[in-house]
């Protein structure tokens, strides 16, 4: 059995500016953010784009179980907890300091019935278990913005194996990294080319991938779902839909994965 990876020793820092609280791992690199007056909102653009998977499945009972690899400031966990009342949330975070800071300074809910945090390596967790999830969100970086074991073919294959039949995986990549193209290629290989890239204006890129039930959504339906989601949660994914439409060649107006 492979030994578990050790918790990192880097510092976990907090800064505040113009009403926004930021999380750092011992550098100026932002690992998470929360607008203090709106703690349930998604402050950073890439976190908003990671939730665009909600537009790719019919609204209502999906997702019922979500796995988040990387806690950060808890933004994604808080949004799901607040707005998807039927969804059970599991978070895997390698650094126990991050969980403490998220609870003390970023208002991460304390509710074991719906939200649990496991202190473990995300790669070990995915490779070593069997539980399946409707939505897997991967957002894990070290202080040098490296993903390490979270950016390997075996890890992406494990993500695929742990999805339900209508499951989706969303992976945050840094589009400016020189290894970005290879990362996308690994994801596509793991998911038999059933993946698409949503570029973010911030320089990140979100890769959505699935292995089960096909995603086949008309552009008009995506736009209507984005309007509905904005009314229900204030999350505006219309810019993400526009970027998808501009960046993809949508055969007969449908988005397919």
Kindly write down the DSSP assignment for every residue of 84-109, as one continuous string. Answer: -TT-EEEEEES-HHHHHHHHHHS---
Instruction: Point out the catalytic residue in the list 124, 139, 151, 165.
Output: 139
Residue 214: closest CA among 251, 162, 156, 256: 256
Give 172-219 as a 3 state SS string: EEECCCCCHHHHHHHHHHHCCCCEEEEECCCCEEEEEECCCCCCEEEH
Q: What is the DSSP-derived secondary structure letter of residue 246?
A: H
The neighbouring-strand residues paired with 116 are 90
Whether residue 139 lies in the annotated active site? yes
Task: Provide the token pair at 198.
Answer: 């949503």
Q: What is the DSSP-derived secondary structure letter of residue 88?
A: E
Residue 51: closest CA among 80, 19, 23, 88: 80
- The end-to-end CA distance of the chain, in Å, is 36
Residue 139: closest CA among 83, 185, 93, 198: 93
Tell me how crowded residue 34 is: count the other CB atoms within 10 A of its CB.
27
Three-state secondary structure call for residue 16: strand
Q: Which residues are catalytic?
A: 139
């Amino acid at each position: 059995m492979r030994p578990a990876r050790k918790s990192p020793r880097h510092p976990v820092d907090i800064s505040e500016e113009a009403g926004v609280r930021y999380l750092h791992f011992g550098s100026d690199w932002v690992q998470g953010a929360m607008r203090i007056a709106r703690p349930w909102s998604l402050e950073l653009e890439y976190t908003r784009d990671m939730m665009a998977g909600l537009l790719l499945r019919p609204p209502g009972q999906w997702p019922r179980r979500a796995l988040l690899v990387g806690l950060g400031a808890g933004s994604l966990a808080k949004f799901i907890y607040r707005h998807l009342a039927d969804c059970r949330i599991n978070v895997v975070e390698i650094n126990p300091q991050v969980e403490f800071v998220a609870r003390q300074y970023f208002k991460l809910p304390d509710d074991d019935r719906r939200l649990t945090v496991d202190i473990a390596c995300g790669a070990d967790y995915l490779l070593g278990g069997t539980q399946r999830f409707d939505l897997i969100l991967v957002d894990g970086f070290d202080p040098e913005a490296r993903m390490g074991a979270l950016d390997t073919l075996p890890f992406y294959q494990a993500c695929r194996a742990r999805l339900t039949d209508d499951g989706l995986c969303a992976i945050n990549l840094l589009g400016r990294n020189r290894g970005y193209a290879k990362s996308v290629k690994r994801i596509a290989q793991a998911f038999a080319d059933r993946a698409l890239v949503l570029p973010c204006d911030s320089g990140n890129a979100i890769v959505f991938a699935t292995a089960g039930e096909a995603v086949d959504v008309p552009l008009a339906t995506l736009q209507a779902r984005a309007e509905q989601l904005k009314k229900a949660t204030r999350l505006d994914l219309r810019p993400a839909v526009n970027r998808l439409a501009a960046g993809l060649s949508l055969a007969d107006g449908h988005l397919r994965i």
